[in-house]
């Protein structure tokens, strides 16, 4: 059998959380992972530590302590002005072999996936990607990762019984950030890793990141599916009216009617809005997981048999193309009269 560089007998009761940061702040996905790691280990002897890399990690490392982490391992190096998969893999590899955590979790972001994919191979260990939940057996140290199966409503539980660290990446938006009491005695430990420019795998010639559309933060989500036949004008108007955002299922995205970053669900964004309105969406499970945490779901679909009606609070059997304009008008009247 393929053997990892250290096994369960040598692993420490530690959950190590990879912390991504940008412009001096921790990314939301990392904050969610911190909350989850603290929840999984609460009341036990298990240790949770963050791992943060960069040319200046002071602010985000402090933020991690303020979010309840007792310990943050920081690797600062002048060449790490940005994520470079080769240099970051090398640095993380050294720390992991030193610390021997039983569990190492990362966000399923582009950088997190790049890093996790390489690191798991270098450590000869198992990697479960895009998990929707994590469970930890505090006795045995076994991490159980949930992934939504391919197709309807089934989740698969994955484990790496004999390999350490047990690595998982978790999709952004899956874990909620809990507000916890900061640990007063929290420590930031600097670890030196010898790196040079030759450890960088690529030259970054250009980078442009604008305002990032983050549907997972939207309070109101108006979603369109195949049944909209590519017509998103009315949905945009309704979203605008309610101060929300428009999302979509995969078909309109694949057909180019709407940007891919607006795709909701298993292969898109997982959202937690107060309100989700689904229009012309049949309700396939890989979409439904994306709005599962919505407080209220309103579904409009012309087919009375559509699955979506099992997942909604209010259902309307009608053509969304007709309902939405009437709804926009009714809402306008209502807000007008409430202001009168």
Strands 187-190 and 71-76, how do they pair? parallel
Tokens representing residue 182 in the block:
């900061």
44-103: which residues touch other proteins (CB under 8 A)? 85-86, 89
Q: Give the relative orientation of helices 320-339 and 233-242 as an angle to the nearest 10 degrees.
A: 30
Q: Near other proteins by CB under 8 A, which window of 41-49, 96-104, 190-198, 311-319?
A: 311-319
Of 329, 322, 231, 225, the residue nearest 277 (C-alpha): 225
Binding status of residue 187 toward other proteins by CB under 8 A? no
- The reply to whether 139 sits near other proteins by the rule CB under 8 A is no
**Judged by CB, which is closer to other proteins: 14, or 160?**
160
* Of 66 and 328, CB closest to other proteins: 328
In the block, tokens 């607006």 appear at 262
Query: How far is 154 from 157, CA to CA, in rounded Å?
Result: 10
User: Quick check: 229 binds other proteins (CB under 8 A)?
Assistant: no
DSSP 303: -
Q: How far apart are CA 334 and CA 253, in angstroms?
A: 33
Among 17, 51, 275, 279, binds other proteins (CB under 8 A): 275
Task: Compute the least distance from the CB of residue 40 to other proteins, in Å.
Answer: 17
The residue range among 30-38, 69-77, 224-232, 292-300 that interacts with other proteins, by the rule CB under 8 A, is 292-300
Site for other proteins in 104-123 (CB under 8 A): 109-110, 113-118, 120-122
Does residue 315 bind other proteins (CB under 8 A)? yes
C-alpha distances in angstroms, 273 versus 67, 166, 219, 330?
A: 23, 32, 4, 22
Give the SS3 label for residue 15. strand
Residue (50 or 173) nearer to other proteins, CB: 173
**Smallest separation, CB 66 to other proteins (Å):** 25
| Contact window for other proteins (CB under 8 A) among 13-21, 41-49, 179-187, 239-247 | 239-247
> In the complex, what is the shortest distance from the CB of residue 319 to other proteins, in angstroms, rounded to a whole number?
9
Residue 47 C-alpha from the chain's centroid: 23
* Site residues (CB under 8 A) for other proteins, limited to 244-263: 244, 253-254, 256, 260-261
- When binding is defined by CB under 8 A, the residue of 148, 234, 249, 301 that contacts other proteins is 148
In 229-274, where do the E strands start and end?
A: 245-248
In whole angstroms, give the CA distance from residue 273 to residue 288.
Answer: 13
Match 């439904």 to its residue by tokens: 288
> Counting contacts by CB under 8 A, is residue 204 touching other proteins?
yes
Tell me the per-residue interface mask from 151 to 170 with other proteins, x by CB under 8 A, - otherwise: xxxxxxxxxxxxx-------
Residue-level length of the chain: 340
Q: Does 323 bind other proteins (CB under 8 A)?
A: yes
């Amino acid at each position: 059998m393929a053997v990892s560089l250290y096994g369960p007998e040598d692993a420490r009761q530690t959950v190590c959380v990879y912390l991504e940061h940008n412009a001096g702040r921790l990314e939301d996905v990392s904050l969610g992972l911190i909350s989850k790691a603290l929840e999984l280990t609460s009341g036990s002897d298990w240790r949770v530590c963050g791992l943060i890399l960069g040319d200046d990690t002071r602010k985000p490392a402090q933020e991690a302590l303020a979010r309840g982490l007792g310990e943050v391992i920081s690797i600062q190096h002048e060449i790490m002005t940005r994520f470079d998969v080769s240099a970051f893999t090398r640095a993380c590899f050294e720390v992991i072999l030193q610390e021997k955590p039983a569990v190492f979790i990362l966000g399923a972001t582009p950088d997190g996936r790049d890093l996790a994919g390489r690191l798991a191979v270098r450590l000869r260990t198992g990697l479960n990607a895009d998990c929707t939940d994590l469970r930890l057996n505090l006795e045995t140290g076994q991490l159980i990762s949930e992934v939504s199966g391919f197709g309807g409503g089934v989740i698969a539980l994955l484990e790496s019984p004999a390999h350490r660290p047990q690595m998982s990446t978790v999709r952004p938006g899956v874990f909620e950030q809990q507000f916890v009491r900061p640990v007063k005695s929290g420590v930031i430990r600097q670890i030196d890793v010898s790196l040079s420019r030759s450890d960088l795998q690529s030259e970054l010639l250009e980078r442009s990141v604008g305002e990032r559309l983050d549907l997972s933060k939207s309070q109101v989500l108006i979603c369109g599916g195949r049944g909209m036949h590519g017509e998103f004008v009315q949905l945009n108007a309704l979203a605008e009216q309610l101060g929300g955002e428009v999302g979509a299922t995969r078909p309109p995205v694949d057909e180019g009617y709407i940007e891919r970053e607006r795709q909701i669900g298993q292969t898109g964004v997982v959202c937690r809005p107060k309100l989700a309105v689904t229009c012309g969406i049949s309700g396939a499970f890989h979409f439904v997981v994306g709005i599962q945490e919505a407080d209220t779901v309103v579904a409009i679909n012309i087919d009375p048999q559509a699955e979506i009606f099992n997942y909604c609070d209010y259902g309307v059997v009608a053509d969304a193309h007709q309902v939405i304009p009437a709804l926009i008008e009714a809402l306008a009247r209502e807000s007008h009269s409430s202001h009168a």
